[in-house]
């Protein structure tokens, strides 16, 4: 209630000051409309897949198969802006998932074991047949009034500065270190009311986010968060504070800074019961090859712990090394190619995943890609616990 009053007061103050500040100089067009349409067909082969079975089917021996997954994604998005003041935006994704290569027939079930058979069918359901899904990634309305911006709706917000890890990104979508750029654009935002005040180099953001519409398994709470951001002496610095309803209060500090011609440094520190720290750097060579390195150490608490980590394992230490080259223009005929490779590792159990990406553009609308993930180490380790030996994806993307 108190928060709602605060937002209302801000809204009233902002609209009244904005009207007073208007002048006669040429302004933005009456209205603007932007849209994008992306269609992706992604074929993924999971090699030597051993599906995780429920306890009730524990007596069954999981076979090792190659699972073929085809995903057809249609992702339209638009933004409409009226008089530089009102805006309406939406980004959705329709996904058709088809699976081949895995069925209950692969398992040796005795005819009388109905319980195991039912459990098996339930466990395999997500990996067989065809499934349709619809995701609302973003849908929000905004009002810009003077130095204030307000928005209500579902929105992807990222306050973290890390590439593969982000302890301070309290409202960010979950970050997957093996897929930090969300290559199929399936991340969804959080439902929120947000107010921003930007004046000179200072920016203040106040957010109230509801978890009412999120699935229970996401384990999200209603969150109230505040951020102060300032660019000072080249340091893009943010202070973050907030509270999860029924959970913990938290605080964070982030910064990025460019040094010289080639170095960028970024860091995050977050406190939620205990401290989590990320330190990272990017180096670019004169030929356009970029290297990113990150070191991340989260505490072994419920909020930060990955599902594959034992609660008794203690503080964890992760590393990322990433190298990329966009447009191999130095090689004749390779100008339309982008290549990247990375390794993400857990130093404590010495498990890691190697990732390789290649993209080739065709004209102004089409591109194709290859994405390869190879997890290594024992089945009980952090990255080695992936139920396959390699994941290979090839795909075609159309953009309008």
Partner 1 sequence: MSKINFVLHTFLALFVLGFLLTCTLISHAATPGAPDAEALLKRSDAYRNGWTSFVLHVKITHYESGKQDEEKLYEVSQKGTEKSYVEFLSPREKGQHMLMLADDMWIYLPDTSRPIRITPLERLNGDASNGDVAHTNYAVDYSPVYLRTEKVGADSCYVLELAAKRKGATYQRILYWLRVEDARPMRAEYYLTSGKHIKSATFDEYASVGGKLQLRRWTLYDEIRHNSRSVLEYSGIAPRNLPDKLFYQGRTDRF
Q: Rounded to an integer, what distance in angstroms lies between the CA atom of residue 275 and that of residue 73?
A: 39
Rounded Cα distance between 130 and 356, Å, is 28
* Residue 120: C-alpha distances to residues 13, 48, 69, 185, 355 (Å): 59, 19, 19, 31, 31
Question: Which among 8-16, 30-38, 117-125, 127-135 is the span making contact with partner 1, rule CB under 8 A?
Answer: 30-38
Q: Which of residues 343-362 bind partner 1 (CB under 8 A)?
A: 361
CA dist 214 → 16, 132, 156 (Å): 35, 19, 14
Q: Decide: is 11 part of the binding site for partner 1 (CB under 8 A).
A: no
Figure out which of the listed residues 131, 135, 158, 315 binds partner 1, where binding follows CB under 8 A: 158
Is residue 54 involved in binding partner 1 (CB under 8 A)?
no
Give, as one character, the DSSP assignment of residue 214: S
Q: Which of 46, 60, 149, 357 binds partner 1 (CB under 8 A)?
A: 149
Cα dihedral value 363, 369, 127, 67, nearest 10: 130
Question: Can you say whether residue 300 is alpha, beta or left, with left for phi > 0 and alpha for psi between -120 and 50 degrees?
Answer: beta
Is 17 a binding residue for partner 1 by CB under 8 A? The answer is: no
CB of 71 to partner 1, least distance (A): 16
Pick 67 or 320: Cβ nearer partner 1: 320
Pick between residue 147 and residue 348 the one whose CB is nearest to partner 1: 147
Residue 160 found at the interface with partner 1 (CB under 8 A) = yes
- The CB-of-230 to partner 1 minimum distance in angstroms stands at 9
- Choice from 31, 133, 245, 335 touching partner 1 (CB under 8 A): 335
In whole angstroms, what is the distance from residue 324 CA to residue 278 CA?
Answer: 21
- Rounded to whole angstroms, the Cα distance separating 233 from 383 reads 39
Contact segment (CB under 8 A) with partner 1 among 93-101, 211-219, 234-242, 270-278 equals 234-242
**Cβ burial, residue 110 (10 Å; 0-12/13-18/19+):** exposed
Question: What are the phi and psi torsion angles at 239 (to 5°)?
Answer: -110, 130
Q: Which residues pair with 92 in a beta bridge?
A: 136
Cβ distance to partner 1 smaller for residue 128 or 324: 324
Alpha-carbon dihedral angle through residues 166, 171, 177, 179, given to the nearest 10 degrees: -140
Considering the rule CB under 8 A, would residue 168 count as an interface residue with partner 1? no
161 near partner 1 (CB under 8 A):
yes
Q: Say whether residue 394 binds partner 1 (CB under 8 A).
A: no
Distance CA 100, CA 117 (A): 20
Residues in region 76-105 near partner 1 by CB under 8 A: 77, 79, 81, 84, 87, 89
Residue 236 touching partner 1 (CB under 8 A) = yes
Is residue 355 within 8 Å of residue 372, measured between CB atoms? yes
What is the binding site for partner 1 (CB under 8 A)? 23, 25-28, 32, 34, 36, 77, 79, 81, 84, 87, 89, 142, 147, 149, 151, 155-161, 180-183, 185, 187, 196, 198, 200, 203, 205, 229, 231, 234, 236, 238, 256-258, 260-264, 266, 282, 284-286, 288, 290, 326-327, 329-330, 332, 335-336, 361, 363-365, 367, 399-400
């Amino acid at each position: 209630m108190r928060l709602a009053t605060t937002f209302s007061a801000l809204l009233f103050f902002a609209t009244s000051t904005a009207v007073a500040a208007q002048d006669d100089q040429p302004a933005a067009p009456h209205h603007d409309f932007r849209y994008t349409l992306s269609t992706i067909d992604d074929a993924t082969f999971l090699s030597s897949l051993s599906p995780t079975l429920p306890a009730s089917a524990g007596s069954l021996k999981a076979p090792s198969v190659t699972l073929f997954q085809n995903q057809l994604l249609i992702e339209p998005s638009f933004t409409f802006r009226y008089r530089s003041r009102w805006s309406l935006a939406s980004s959705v994704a329709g996904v058709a998932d088809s699976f081949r290569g895995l069925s209950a027939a692969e398992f040796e079930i005795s005819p009388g074991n109905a319980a195991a058979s039912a459990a098996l069918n339930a466990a395999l359901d997500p990996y067989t047949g065809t499934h349709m899904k619809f995701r609302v990634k973003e849908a929000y309305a905004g009002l810009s009034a003077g130095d204030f911006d307000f928005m209500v709706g579902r929105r992807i917000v990222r306050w973290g500065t890390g590439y593969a890890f982000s302890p301070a990104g309290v409202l960010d979508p979950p970050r997957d270190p093996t897929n930090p750029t969300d290559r199929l654009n399936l991340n969804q935002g959080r439902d929120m009311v947000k107010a921003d005040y930007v004046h000179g180099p200072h920016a203040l953001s106040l957010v109230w986010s509801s978890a009412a519409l999120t699935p229970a398994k996401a384990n999200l709470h209603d969150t109230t968060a505040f951020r102060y951001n300032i660019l000072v002496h080249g340091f893009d610095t943010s202070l973050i504070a907030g509270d999860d309803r029924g959970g913990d209060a938290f605080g964070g500090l982030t910064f990025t800074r460019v040094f010289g011609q080639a170095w960028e440094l970024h860091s995050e520190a977050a406190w939620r019961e205990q401290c989590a720290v990320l330190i990272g750097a990017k180096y670019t060579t004169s030929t356009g090859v970029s290297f990113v390195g990150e070191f991340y150490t989260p505490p072994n608490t419920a909020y930060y712990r990955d599902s594959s980590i034992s609660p008794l394992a203690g503080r964890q230490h992760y590393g990322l090394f990433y190298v990329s080259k966009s447009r191999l223009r130095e090689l004749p005929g390779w100008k339309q190619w982008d290549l990247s490779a990375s390794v993400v590792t857990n130093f404590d159990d010495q498990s890691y995943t190697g990732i390789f990406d290649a993209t080739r553009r065709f004209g102004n609308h089409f591109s194709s890609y290859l994405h390869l993930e190879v997890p290594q180490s024992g089945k009980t380790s952090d990255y080695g616990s992936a139920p396959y030996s390699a994941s290979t994806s090839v795909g075609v993307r159309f953009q309008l």
